[in-house]
Amino acid sequence: MRVSGVLRVLALIVAIVTTWIIIRNCMGFSTKTIRLPRWLASSTMETQVMKHKCGLIKPCPANHFAFKIGSGAANVVGPTMCFENHMIMSPVKNNVGRGLNIALVNGTTGAVLSQSAFDMYSGDVKHLEKFLKEIPKGALVLVASYDDPGTKMSDEARKLFTNLGSSYAKQLGFRDSWVFIGAKDLRDKSPFEQFLKNNPNTNKYEGWPELLEMEGCVPPRPF
């Protein structure tokens, strides 16, 4: 027999032995040790995490509105604002702007009433003051900052936001991050608010703090 023939036979024998060892080892595994990825689970299980309105992991209780608000990231990515699975404001919709992005929602039906962006760096704060003074009773006020929400902020505007239930409007300043949901004539401070001060020692981005994300379920007015 030629050398090449011997080598072929030896290779075949090695392959057979190796295959037998692998099969034997696999048969020795307990089925309990086999863990499939979630997306490969049986049809009786969820193939992926169920998403609810606005991407929430859990559904909101009856008579509550689902929401998710994100502030802008530095001066690069604009804020997003979702309410009852409706994306009210976002960079994709091209209806956000530098400063404060505000949407009004009917506190009973959840219908969007209006949305607007106010430039708080080079704009006229009088436009913001007028908008806040004309908020109808029963409306929810959703706010998300982008880039700079505080340079043009006036004492009057701070007072109006405070009357909507804000705990941080009085200290809102240059390039701070802020998300907030309030309403007129609240009996207490709103539980839906996040604030992050612009601080060179703790900023996530160069010159700006980290973006804020707030989500949850808000009951109809009043809170």
Same structural domain, 84 and 24: no
The dihedral sign for the CA sequence 78, 95, 134, 112: negative
Positive or negative: CA dihedral 60, 194, 92, 96 = positive
- The domain tally of the chain equals 2
Residue pLDDT, tens place only, 76-125: 999 999 999 999 999 999 999 999 999 999 999 999 999 999 999 999 99
pLDDT score of 208 more than 60: yes
Burial 141-157, CB ≥16 within 10 A → b, else e: bbbbbbbbbbbbbeeeb
Residue 24 lies in a domain: yes
pLDDT, average across residues 165-187: 94
Task: State yes or no: pLDDT of 12 exceeds 80.
Answer: no
CA distance 54 to 57: 9
- In this predicted structure, what is the pLDDT of residue 15? 54
**pTM (whole model) above 0.95:** no
Do 186 and 96 share a structural domain?
yes
12/94 same-domain check: no
Give the domain range for residue 173: 53-218
The token pair that represents 42 in the structure block = 């049986």
Assess whether 15 and 112 both reside in one domain. no
The helix or strand, by DSSP H or E, that contains position 160, with its residue range, turns out to be helix 155-163
Give yes or no: residues 21 and 94 share one domain: no
Instruction: Say whether both 7 and 82 belong to one domain.
Output: no
